[in-house]
């Protein structure tokens, strides 16, 4: 089944991007740019506890940490803390840069939202740079169906016959790797869902072997995507910022109604690449800081009317004001 899913997804990629591939090949002899082209890769690891990630045999994620900033994040702000501590609000806050009192997603009924008023950061990017090419690949359907906006390519890998999130995660890595080879994205979001599914099945804790093993398995998929970035023909002329985040932690086999539970409220943000500072930030970091960080690296000025709640973190050149 996985093989057929992969074939369908990659055929779709080939059909959609043959023209892009031809353009890339025709331009391969162009002289190298003196200033590297800034690009962003965001990797979403649903339901991943930082303590387990640090203990896991996850060399690719650990190398990203060594090459940049690791921030322990808070999945709720100080101004508003009423939304449920689950994926709908978590990914909406991560990918819009505002809290749930603004984007309107309070639980996993993501169809109830104000995401047109407070959209996905791809749309913010395109307001300033309409020629930016954006890609989203995810296997939890509310993300492609409701949260993502402004993407030139928006794929739900679980819709291609994958019976499990494990299968869909592998398709996600394969499609992302192919797209990195044949297209020229400005910003890319890649989401893996099976860590969270494993936590719900066996438990969210470093002592749960299945949970730890799933993080290690996804680390290999992350490695496939990172290798695809480095294997790009134009990589030497590019400045990639890699951001890795999660939407919540977990305790026992769940994470709902965790507004007072540290193991659920704690997430993380890895900011890695040549533009990243090394170490840990002194100030508190929130999941709404992801979007301003990505936009800052891409040189997109944040407009006051966007009413973002976050600020850029972990970058050598740019700093901001702590989130609310």
Q: What is the pLDDT of residues 42-70, one digit of tens each?
A: 999 999 999 999 999 999 999 999 999 99
Q: Spell out the alpha helix ranges (H) of the chain.
A: 2-26, 50-55, 59-66, 87-96, 100-103, 121-128, 142, 165-182, 194-202, 209-230, 262-265, 290-297
Strands lying side by side in the sheet with 68-74: 153-156, 134-138, 187-192, 37-45, 238-245, 266-272, 68-74, 285-286
Res. 145: pLDDT tops 90: yes
Q: Which residue has the tokens 């965790």?
A: 258
Q: What is the pLDDT of residues 112-134, one digit of tens each?
A: 999 999 999 999 999 999 999 99
The C-alpha atoms of residue 278 and residue 272 are separated, in whole angstroms, by: 8
Instruction: State the pTM of this model.
Output: 0.92
Cα-Cα-Cα-Cα dihedral sign, residues 95, 101, 107, 109: negative
Q: 96 phi and psi, to 5 degrees?
A: -110, -25
* C-beta separation of 50 from 249 below 8 A: yes
Q: What is the CA radius of gyration of the chain?
A: 18
The C-alpha atoms of residue 272 and residue 261 are separated, in whole angstroms, by: 28
Q: And the tokens for 306?
A: 């966007």
Q: Among 11-20, 234-243, 272-281, whose mean pLDDT is lowest?
A: 11-20
Res. 84: pLDDT tops 60: yes
Domains along the sequence of the chain with CATH: 35-306 (3.40.720.10)
Q: And the tokens for 121?
A: 């950061």
Which of these, 122, 68, 93, lies nearest to 313 by C-alpha position? 68
Q: Among 12-16, 113-117, 277-281, 283-287, whose mean pLDDT is lowest?
A: 12-16
Number of alpha carbons in the 13 Å side-chain half-sphere of residue 19: 1
Q: What is the pLDDT of residues 247-258, one digit of tens each?
A: 999 999 999 999
């Amino acid at each position: 089944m996985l093989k057929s899913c992969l074939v369908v997804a990659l055929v779709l990629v080939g059909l959609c991007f043959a023209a892009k591939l031809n353009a890339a090949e025709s331009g391969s002899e162009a002289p190298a740019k003196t200033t590297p082209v800034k690009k962003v890769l965001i990797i979403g690891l649903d339901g991943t506890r930082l303590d387990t990630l640090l203990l896991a045999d996850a060399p690719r994620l650990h190398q990203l940490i060594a090459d940049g900033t690791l921030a322990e994040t808070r999945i709720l702000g100080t101004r508003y803390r009423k939304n449920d501590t689950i994926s709908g609000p978590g990914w909406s806050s991560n990918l819009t840069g505002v809290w749930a009192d603004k984007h309107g997603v309070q639980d996993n009924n993501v169809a109830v939202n104000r995401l047109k008023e407070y959209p996905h950061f791809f749309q913010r990017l395109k307001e300033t740079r309409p020629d930016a090419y954006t890609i989203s690949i995810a296997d939890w359907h509310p993300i492609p169906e409701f949260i993502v906006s402004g993407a030139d390519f928006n794929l739900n890998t679980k819709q291609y016959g994958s019976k499990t999130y494990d299968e869909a995660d592998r398709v996600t890595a394969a499609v992302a790797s192919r797209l990195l080879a044949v297209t020229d994205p400005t910003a890319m979001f890649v989401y893996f869902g099976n860590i969270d599914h494993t936590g719900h099945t066996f438990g969210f804790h470093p002592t749960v072997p299945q949970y730890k093993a799933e993080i290690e398995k996804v680390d290999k998929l992350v490695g496939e995507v990172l290798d695809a970035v480095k294997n790009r023909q134009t990589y030497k002329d590019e400045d990639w910022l890699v951001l890795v985040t999660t939407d919540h932690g977990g305790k026992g086999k769940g994470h709902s109604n965790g507004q007072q539970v540290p193991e659920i409220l704690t997430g993380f943000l890895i900011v890695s690449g040549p533009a990243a500072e090394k170490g840990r930030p002194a100030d508190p970091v929130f999941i709404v800081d992801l979007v301003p960080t990505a936009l800052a690296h891409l040189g997109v000025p944040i407009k006051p009317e966007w009413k973002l709640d976050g600020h850029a973190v972990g970058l050598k050149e740019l700093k901001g004001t702590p989130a609310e």
